């Protein structure tokens, strides 16, 4: 006999939140049945409206907070969490760090069955606002004027926003300025329903250490009306701009960038530094959006690698060579692999830019290339992985277990897949020594980790 659901749709109930989900929703329970409510915080008592039920859980709406958490803060200038920007900005920064650190501990125990792993205190930011060095902002029209901002949650309705509290001020200024210039020149916004119009997205990238700005105009059409005036006015209004790029995306798609990119003015790249390493950043380059915390994360990876200058290092999922080039400063040789050809070209260019000659890069799947290297006798003393959110491919994990490098340094953007992969490595003869969480994305639910894994002698 199936268990009766203790609440019904449209019920109003009072409950105390016990926990937070991975996406920052409060968890309340009625007779053990969970109700997930955006905006609720642990230990708060609240009035909730049940808006959806199913066998395993319900979704609720926060109606009134009856007893307030000491971690709750009043949202400053905008309800950005409603628009997919800042899901947990209603939690004090102290509370955010506690939530993220607890989340890492919980998934390591629950998913990885790793009860005895040392999890260090999370490394947060001194100023956890205005940190993002890149924006990709959708453009629309309202009352005859261009608007640009966030998509309202679970919709394609654009909410016009003049300022994002997590973007660098220079990024906010660039997006707002380009939006106003396009509006004044009456360049039409893209209309998703009819697949007409011109401007789809405004992208801005900023080198925090160099002060260099790139503007990317993403359009449906191959040409931009009033292109010369547009470029002229952007240059006049944004003195720090070094590159203006046009990307054409003529497809009906949610993917932001199209296949065709052309330079309208200036340089094809801007530059930035992480520590002492210089990086060239193109319109399509993957480059971490929080360079201050990236330095913290990569320094931890370098510390865990503990290189003496004699080691061969393999960097799986190397991207544009960010971690590889950090490691190359201390290693005998670094071999990087990445599936995106453009990223490997960037990695080679960045090695040359820094005069680094002991790093080699190859295009391909890490789970295909690294086993091939191993069969050819190219072994690794230290292996570094920085996979996407889905974690490491099982073939790569099996190759690591077969190769038996002395150390694995695992940089992760998803604690759940990190815990899963650590369990596989532990079952294959490795020991997870310690995990260091790093807050790369304040005001959001995301957390990065760096884990040190050693071969059991």
β pairing state of 118-119 and 33-38: unpaired
Which residues are the active-site residues? 413
Q: Find out whether 242 and 270 touch, Cβ atoms under 8 Å.
A: yes
């Amino acid at each position: 006999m199936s268990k009766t659901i203790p609440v019904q749709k449209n019920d109003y109930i009072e409950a105390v939140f016990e926990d937070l989900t991975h996406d920052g929703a409060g968890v309340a329970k009625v007779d053990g049945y969970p109700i997930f409510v955006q905006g609720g915080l642990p230990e708060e008592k609240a009035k909730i409206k049940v808006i959806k039920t199913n066998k395993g859980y319900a979704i609720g709406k926060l109606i009134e907070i009856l007893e307030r958490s000491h971690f709750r803060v009043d949202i400053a200038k905008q309800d950005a969490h409603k628009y997919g920007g800042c899901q947990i900005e209603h939690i004090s920064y102290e509370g955010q760090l506690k939530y993220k650190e607890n989340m890492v501990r919980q998934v390591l125990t629950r998913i990885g069955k790793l009860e005895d792993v040392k999890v260090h205190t999370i490394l947060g930011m001194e100023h956890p606002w205005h940190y993002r060095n890149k924006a990709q902002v959708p453009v629309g029209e309202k009352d005859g004027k261009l608007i640009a901002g966030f998509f309202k949650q679970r919709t394609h309705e654009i909410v016009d926003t003049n300022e994002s509290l997590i973007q660098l001020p220079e990024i906010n200024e660039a997006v707002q300025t380009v939006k106003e210039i396009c509006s004044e020149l009456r360049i039409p916004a893209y209309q998703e329903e009819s697949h007409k119009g011109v401007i789809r997205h405004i992208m801005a990238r900023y080198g925090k250490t160099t002060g260099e700005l790139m503007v990317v105009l993403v359009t449906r059409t191959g040409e931009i009306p009033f292109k010369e005036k547009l470029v002229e006015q952007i240059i006049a209004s944004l003195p720090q701009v070094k590159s203006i790029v046009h990307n054409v995306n003529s497809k009906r798609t949610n993917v932001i960038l199209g296949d065709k990119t052309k330079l309208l003015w200036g340089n094809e790249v801007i530059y930035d530094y992480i520590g002492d390493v210089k990086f060239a950043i193109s319109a399509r380059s993957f480059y971490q959006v929080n360079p201050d915390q990236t330095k913290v994360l990569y320094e931890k990876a370098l510390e865990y690698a503990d290189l003496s200058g004699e080691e061969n290092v393999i960097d799986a999922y190397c991207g544009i060579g960010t971690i590889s080039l950090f490691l190359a400063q201390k290693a005998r040789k670094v071999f990087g692999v990445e599936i995106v050809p453009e990223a490997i070209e960037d990695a080679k260019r960045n090695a040359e830019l820094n005069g680094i000659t002991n790093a080699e890069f190859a295009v391909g799947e890490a789970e295909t290339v690294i086993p091939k290297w191993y069969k050819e006798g190219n072994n690794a003393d230290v292996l570094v992985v920085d996979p996407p959110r889905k974690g490491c491919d099982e073939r790569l994990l099996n190759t690591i277990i077969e190769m038996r490098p002395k150390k694995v340094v695992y940089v992760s953007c998803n604690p759940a897949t990190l815990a899963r992969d650590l369990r596989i490595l532990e079952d294959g003869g490795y020991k997870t020594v310690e995990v260091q969480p790093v807050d790369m994305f304040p005001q959001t639910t995301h957390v990065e980790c760096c884990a040190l894994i050693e071969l059991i002698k």
